[in-house]
Amino acid sequence: MRYTPTLTRDANASAGGKNLGDLPEWDLSDLYTAPDAPELKRDLDWLEDACRSFAADYEGKLDSLSAGEFLTLVQRNEKIGAIAGRIMSFAGLRYYQMTMDAERAKFLSDCQEKITNYTTPLVFFSLEINRLPEDHYADLFAANDELARYKPAFDRQRAMKPYQLSDELEKFLHDLGVVGDAWERLFDETIAGLTFEVDGEELNIESTLNFLTEQDRSKREAAARELARVFAANIRTFARVHNTQAKEKEVLDRWRGMPSPQMGRHLSNDVEPEVVEALRNAVVKAYPRLSHRYYELKRKWLGLDRMQVWDRNAPLPMEVTRTVSWDEARETVMNAYSAFDPRMGELAQPFFDKGWIDAPVKPGKAPGAFAHPTVTDVHPYVMLNYLGKPRDVMTLAHELGHGVHQVLAAGQGEMLSSTPLTLAETASVFGEMLTFQRMLENAKDDKERKVLLAGKVEDMINTVVRQIAFYDFECKLHDARRGGELTPDDINALWMSVQAESLGEAFDFMEGYETFWAYIPHFVHSPFYVYAYAFGDGLVNALYAAYQESPEGFQDKYFDMLKAGGSKHHKALLEPFGLDATDPTFWDKGLSMIEGFIDQLEAMEE
C-alpha cells in the first residue's frame, strides 16, 4: 500500500494567449498551511504510530476476527489511508506547481520515503485478506451490513490473489517503490526544464505545444521542428526512463505471473481484458471511417495537397483566432453545467471561489492538466495551464467534470471513493459534451457551427483514435523491451508504426516526428492508462445518446452513478441506462456519434 498523488491527467491539454483576466491559483491550506506546519508533523507522528499499532494488533490474526472486529480493522485502515493521502496530496500538489524547485522536490521525496517506511508493516493486510478461504471470506461480509459495504474494495483486492508473492517479497517490493518514483520525477523535471525557442522567444513545453494550434502555418511548422530538435537532444534520457520503467514492470510481471503487461492495469481498472480488446479492435477497425475520413476533409479545407503533422490540430481557415478570457471560459462551462442540472453548477462553483483551481502557466509548473481528488474529507484540486485557447475551455470543462465526480464520490469514504480509470473519465467527457452542445446551440451561423463541430470531432479523435494508437504503441514497447534494451531508434520506429495507421493517407511525417513519444506523461506515470480515455469517450457517447432519447429522470440516475465512486462494477453502473460495455456492439454505438458529426461536416460541403 503506497501513497502517491493520483492524478487524472489530460495529455492533450493546450494553451496560449494573454490578457486573460484574474487567473486563480491553489490555496492548499485546506490540506496544510505550510511544509513546517505543526499539524503536518502531528499527522506524520500519528501515522507512524498508527501503522505500527495496526500491525501489532492484527498481523497473523485476520482469520480469527469476528465481523465486528473486522469492521473496526477496516475503519482504522481507512483512517491511515486518509492521513497518508492528505500528506502526499499536499507534497505532490506543491511539487507540481513548481517542479524545478529543489526544496519542493526534496519535501515530496522525503514525505514519500517516510510514508513508504511507515506503511511497510501494513503489507501483511492485503496478503492475509487474499489468504482467507472463500467461504470464510463470504461469511464475514454477510454477517455485518456496515462491513458488507466495503466488500467491492476487497473483491478487487482479491482479484490480485493469483499474482501475489511471499510476504517477504511483497514488503521488499513495497520499499523498493521509492526507486521507481525517482524515475518518474526525473521525467517530470526533465520535461519541465526543457526550453524551446520559437520566433526568438524562449518558451516552455506547454507554450510551444500551443503553437501547433496557431492559424499561421509557418509558426506551427517552426514549433514542430523546435519540439523535434529539443526532444532529439534529450532522447537518450527519455529512452533510459522508458527502458528502465518497462524493464521494472517486466520483472514484476514475471515474478507475479501476470499473463500480459496490460493485465495489472485491467485489474486495477476492474475491467475484463476482452472488453478492452473489443474496444481497441472496434476503434482500429473504425480508423478509415473516423480519422482518415475527417483528416481528408480537413486537408481540403486547408487547401493542401498533403498535410504535415503540424496541421493535425490547426484551426480551420474560417476560424477567427481569438483569446477566451478566464471569465468567459468560466461562464461558458458553468452555464452548460447548470443548464443540465442546477446541482451540477452548485457542485462546480466552489472550484472557482475557494482556490481549488490553479490556472496560470508558470515556469517550472507541470505541463498538461489534471484533477486530483486528495482525500474524502477535504476536496479535489484542479490544475490547468490556461492561456485562452478555445480548446482550453473544453479542458476546463473536462477537469471540472473530474472534480464534480470526485466530490460526489467522496461520500463513499477512502476505500470506495476512488473510481477505476475507465469510469473516472465519465464525468469529465460528459462535462465536455454538455459544454460543446451548449456552444453549438448558441452558434450564430453555419460557419461557427462548422468550426465547433470540427473542433469537437478533433477532440474526440484525440480522445479515442489517438489514445488507442498510444495504447498500441505501449503494447509494442513493452513487448519489444522483453527482448532486450531498446535504442532510441527502436522506440522511434515503434512510435511511427502506429502513427500512419491511425492518422491515414492525408499525412506526411516530418523528420523528427519519430521522437514525439518522449513527452507523453502517461507512458511513464501510468502504463496503459491511455485506453481509459477511449473507454470513457465511448461510454459517454452512449450515455449522452440515452439522455437525448429519454431525458426524463436521467439526471438522478447520472448523479447516482457518480456518487457510487468505485463501489460498483461498470456493468452495474450502466444497467439503469440500459447499457452494457461487455456487449461487443456497445463500442460501435459510441463511435457512431463521432461518425454522425463527420457526416454533418460532409453535408455542409454539399
Residue pair 50/78 in contact by the 8 Å Cβ criterion: no
The predicted structure's pLDDT at residue 16: 40
CA 460 remoteness from chain centre: 15
Nearest to 313 by CA among 294, 338, 332, 339: 294
Q: Supply 554's cell numbers.
A: 436521467
| N-terminal to C-terminal alpha carbon distance within the chain | 59
Cell 502517461 appears where? 522
Which residues of the chain carry a pLDDT beneath 50? 1-17
Q: What order do you get walking across the sheet with 369-372 strand by strand?
A: 8-10, 369-372, 381-383, 357-358
Q: Which residues contact 409 (CB under 8 A, 6 or more apart)?
A: 373, 417, 418, 419, 562, 563, 564, 565, 566
Cα–Cα distance, 388 to 386 (Å, whole number): 6
Domains of the chain: which residue ranges? 276-605
**What does DSSP say about strands 369-372 and 8-10: parallel, antiparallel, or unpaired?**
antiparallel
* Element holding 152 (H helix, E strand): helix 151-158
Cα–Cα distance, 141 to 430 (Å, whole number): 35
DSSP 403-435: HHHHHHHGGG-HHHHPPPHHHHTHHHHHHHHHH
Nearest to 572 by CA among 431, 420, 463, 467: 420
Q: Supply 448's cell numbers.
A: 461557427
HEC per residue, 323-376: CCCHHHHHHHHHHHHHHHCHHHHHHHHHHHHCCCEECCCCCCCCCCEEEECCCC
Q: Which residues contact 537 (CB under 8 A, 6 or more apart)?
A: 425, 429, 460, 463, 464, 590
The predicted structure's pLDDT at residue 606: 62
Residue pair 579/542 in contact by the 8 Å Cβ criterion: yes
Cell 448558441 appears where? 442
Burial letters 265-284, b for 16+ CB under 10 A, else e: bbbbbbbeeebbebbbebbb
- How many CB atoms are closer than 10 A to CB 499? 18
DSSP 221-279: HHHHHHHHHHHHHTHHHHHHHHHHHHHHHHHHHHHHT-SSTTHHHHHHTT--HHHHHHH
The predicted structure's pLDDT at residue 13: 39
Alpha helices in 36-66 (DSSP H): 38-58
Cell 479515442 appears where? 464
Helix (H, G, I), strand (E, B) or coil at 290: coil
The predicted structure's pLDDT at residue 443: 87
Cα–Cα distance, 257 to 448 (Å, whole number): 54
Helix (H, G, I), strand (E, B) or coil at 8: strand
The predicted structure's pLDDT at residue 4: 38
Amino acid code (one letter) for 23: L
pLDDT one-digit tens code per residue, 436-446: 999 898 888 88
The whole model's pTM is what? 0.83
Q: Supply 98's cell numbers.
A: 513548481
Nearest to 140 by CA among 72, 68, 73: 68
Helix (H, G, I), strand (E, B) or coil at 196: strand
φ and ψ at 307, to 5 degrees?
-95, 150
The predicted structure's pLDDT at residue 277: 95
By CB atoms closer than 10 A (0-12, 13-18, 19+), residue 463 is buried
Burial letters 299-323, b for 16+ CB under 10 A, else e: bebeeeeebbbbbbbbbbeebeeee
Nearest to 140 by CA among 53, 74, 57: 74
Topology, domain 276-605: Neurolysin; domain 3 (1.10.1370)
The predicted structure's pLDDT at residue 320: 79
- How many CB atoms are closer than 10 A to CB 199? 12
pLDDT one-digit tens code per residue, 166-194: 888 888 888 887 777 888 989 999 998 99
Cα–Cα distance, 217 to 451 (Å, whole number): 18
